Each structure stands twice: as structure tokens, then as C-alpha cells.
Structure 1
Amino acid sequence: MSEIISKGVGWSRREIARNIALDIPDGSIVNLGIGMPELVASFIPSDREVLFHTENGLLGMGPPPAAGAEDPELINAGKQPVTAIPGASYFHHADSFAMVRGGHIDICVLGAMQVSQRGDLANWSMGEDDAAPAVGGAMDLVSGVKTIFIAMTHCASNGAPKIVEKCTYPLTGAGVVRRIYTDLAILEVREGALDVVAMAPGVDFETLQHHTQASLVKPRVSRTA
């Protein structure tokens, strides 16, 4: 594990989710991936209306239910219990993917194993010979959704950079990622380069570059989100 991570520097998972939520415009239709992306729904500012879509057939997904109030027939694509807001609509799984493939979803937030400096995404397999195929709907999402945000830790558990010059894992999509939100920084993919939008408290540019295999474009003004 890298020294900076072992010292606890950087944003927490909930703070990463908050950073993403603040960048989602009012009126957006958003699909959330499994894991850290699911936290984003809890941080949408109260003055914004955002509709959450889940590919198993619900538009208008609400927050997780209170303990004991779960409905086993009301779940998201990750099989986690959810609620439905007033006016929510239910539809067939095929109709849900027609929304995705037809470009009707504004933003999708996904996790990642690797992201390259040109926005290539690898998030479904580490390429082992004996691994079972498990891409799910990720390829549909990255090809059909207008904007892809990534929520992940900056480095793997062994300290290896997850933001790389070129992905070594099988790709989910090429050139699909718009922004990357990690515990160390917010990065924007722009013309095959990674611009530093913001850095977490306690992180400077040299440290960030040290933990990133891809080359970063230094911000004009040093700041934190």
C-alpha cells in the first residue's frame, strides 16, 4: 500500500460521492453503478431534481429503505433494496436498456479497475484465464449514456496506480470516461490528456503524479474541492 494512503490522506468514499453529486446538474437522469457509486444519491443538493434510473426497470429510484421496511420486490440492479419516489415508473428490462442504448440517460457513475489517460475504461475483468464473463450491462451503459463519471480509489490495495497510460485489463469501452473522482483528486479527460480539476486536502501535484501512471496536466491555480 502506498505511503499516502496508509497515512489516511485524501477523501473518504462518502466524500468522493459528495464531489460527484455536486457536479450533477439539475434535471439529470442518472444511472448509478454498484458499490461506491450508489452513495451518490445521498448527496444530491436539496434544490436539485435528479431522477435515478436502474437498468432492471425503474425510473425514480429513491433512497435505501429503513431497516425492516425492505420490499424484496423493489431492488436495484445490484440486488440492493431501494425505494421509489412519488411519480416513479416501472418498465420491462428490455425497455430499460432501450433507454440506455437510445441515449436517454444523461450521466452514469461507475466504478473502475483501470482508466487510461484517453478515457478508456476497464471495470469488468482482470483478464484471468479462468474468470467467468461478468460484464453485465456496463458495455451498454458506456456506449449509450451521454456522460460517464468514474468513482474509485486512486490506487489498488497493493498501491499500484489505477489511472494508467494504457489499460492492461480488458476494456469495457474506449474513450468513454469524462471525469474521474478518486480519494486523491478529480480529473477530467480532455483531448487524450488528464486535467487536474481539484486535489484532496493534503495532496499536492507532485504527490498526485507520483501515484498516477498517466501524465497529468497541472492546474493553473492550486486548489482543493
Structure 2
Amino acid sequence: MTTRISRKELAQRIADDIPEGAIVNLGIGAPTLVANYLTDERDVILHTENGMLGMGRAPEADQVDPDLINAGKQAVTAVAGASYFHHADSFAMMRGGHLDVCVLGAFQVSQTGDLANWSTGLPDAIPAVGGAMDLAIGAKDVFVMTDLLTKSGDSKLVDACSYPLTGVACVSRVYTDHAIFEVTADGFAVRELFGDNTISQLQELTGLTLTDAARHTGAGEGAHA
């Protein structure tokens, strides 16, 4: 019985959903994997907040350039025509609404699209919000990439976030290892199920009332319980 997909498979699924012509920021951590599934034929431009437009996929081990890194200090490549600029200019792009999509990780996402992804609020937690707030509010669409459950089995999809917020009502869609969820006026709607998951099973895992995204669109690839 298969109920989850791998992180690489999820990155591929997100890459497939990024529209042609989009300018995209990939957050630190798992979201950076999405770059590896955006082919050269795709008209997608990747932005990194430390000052680069035209980021490519991760380099092979023998092709690492120590001067080319993303905001998470991971080695990256540059595509033809890439440009470099000051950190302040990069944040002006983020805050000015110039990013079409950003892909971020999460600790929690609420039914109203609130995002908590920078701190668990514990006394020993390191305050390191970085540019997450700017991305969450500045991008036209915020895609979250995360496991559905924590290591202890708690749902990362919640009625209301208990951790410090990164942004309010900013998340458009949540990509998890169990399913893809849309954030709607009625809460989470299941856009696509992975493996043998059903909507009723996901409701048990999350403790939330979930709807079928097809009911909101009236067409397209809805989920089926």
C-alpha cells in the first residue's frame, strides 16, 4: 500500500505546475530541489534572495563554483543571461510584487492560508526568519512544499497556527507527500491524491474537514475519495 511519494517526486510535481514565463524563488531546504526538474526548455526564471536572477540546477560535484551559491549557501549553477545584484535590490524585487511564485517549506499552514515556517517558538529556537516574510507576502502565489505530518505524527495542516507566523493568508497551495491541497474560502480542498490516499483518510490524519477541489472549480483533475 503506497500512501506517500518521495521528496524528489514531489519536487517534480511542483516543477510541472510552475507556469511558463514565471519568475520564481525557491526557499531554503527541500524547495531547492524543484530547480533540478525545470528543464532548459521551460521559460522559467529562478531568483535567489542573495542576489541572482537566472539560477540553474545544482551542479555536478566536479563543476562546483564556490562563488555561485543560493540563499542557503548551497552550490548552484547560472543559466545563460543570468544577472547578479545587491542584496537590497533583490529584496526590492521580493517586496515589490515582482515574483510570480515562491516555494517555501513550513512548520504549519492554517486553513485560511496563514504560514508558520521560521520558528517553533521554543526557548532554544534560533530566530532566523531571513527573507521568508518578504517572500510570503511579496510573491503573487505561495506554494508550500512539506511533509503532511511531523516526525511525531502531528498534522502540519491545522485549523490555526500555534507557531509564530511568517505571513497571514498568503499560501495558495500546499504540496505534501500525501496529497496536494488548495487553500480556499472553505478551508483546504484536495487537488490531487497520491498513492492509495483518500479524502476521508486525510481527514483522519489532519483532523480537518476537507473538500474536493473539483467542486470549487467545477472541472479539471479533482481528487476522488
Normalised to the residue count of structure 1, the TM-score between the two structures is 0.92
Partner of 1:151: 145
1:223: how far off? 4.6
Partner of 2:76: 82
* C-alpha separation in 1, matches of 2:34 and 2:124: 33
1:218: how far off? 3.1
**1:204 is matched with which residue: 187, 198, 202?**
198
* C-alpha separation in 1, matches of 2:68 and 2:41: 26
Partner of 1:187: 181
Partner of 2:64: 70
- The alignment of Structure 1 onto Structure 2 pairs a total of residues equal to 218
Normalised to the residue count of structure 2, the TM-score between the two structures is 0.92
1:46: how far off? 5.4
Partner of 1:4: none
* C-alpha separation in 2, matches of 1:91 and 1:33: 18
Partner of 2:219: none
The 5 Å alignment of 1:125-140 reads 125-140=119-134
* C-alpha separation in 2, matches of 1:67 and 1:134: 29
The 5 Å alignment of 1:27-106 reads 27-44=21-38, 47-106=41-100
Q: Deviations over 1:39-65 (max 9, x none)?
A: 111222554210000000000001111
Q: Deviations over 1:96-139 (max 9, x none)?
A: 00000100011000000000111000001101123231111101
Q: Deviations over 1:82-105 (max 9, x none)?
A: 111110000000000000010001
Partner of 1:3: none
Are the aligned partners of 1:165 and 1:215 in contact in 2 as well (CA < 8 Å)?
no
**1:21 is matched with which residue: 15, 26, 29?**
15
Runs of 4+ in 1 over 2 A off after TM superposition: 44-48, 129-132, 218-224
Partner of 1:115: 109
- Code of the residue aligned with 1:69 in structure 2: it is Q
Partner of 2:5: 11
RMSD in angstroms over aligned alpha carbons?
1.6
Are the aligned partners of 1:161 and 1:212 in contact in 2 as well (CA < 8 Å)?
yes
Secondary structure at the aligned position of 2:136 is classed as helix
Relative to structure 1, the CA distance from residue 223 to residue 40 in structure 2 (aligned partners, 3 Å threshold; closer, same or farther) is farther
* C-alpha separation in 2, matches of 1:189 and 1:47: 30
* C-alpha separation in 2, matches of 1:222 and 1:132: 39
Relative to structure 1, the CA distance from residue 45 to residue 114 in structure 2 (aligned partners, 3 Å threshold; closer, same or farther) is same
1:36: how far off? 1.2
* C-alpha separation in 2, matches of 1:100 and 1:198: 29
Are the aligned partners of 1:119 and 1:192 in contact in 2 as well (CA < 8 Å)?
no
* C-alpha separation in 2, matches of 1:166 and 1:184: 21
1:219: how far off? 4.8
1:193: how far off? 1.1
* C-alpha separation in 1, matches of 2:166 and 2:138: 12
1:12: how far off? 0.8
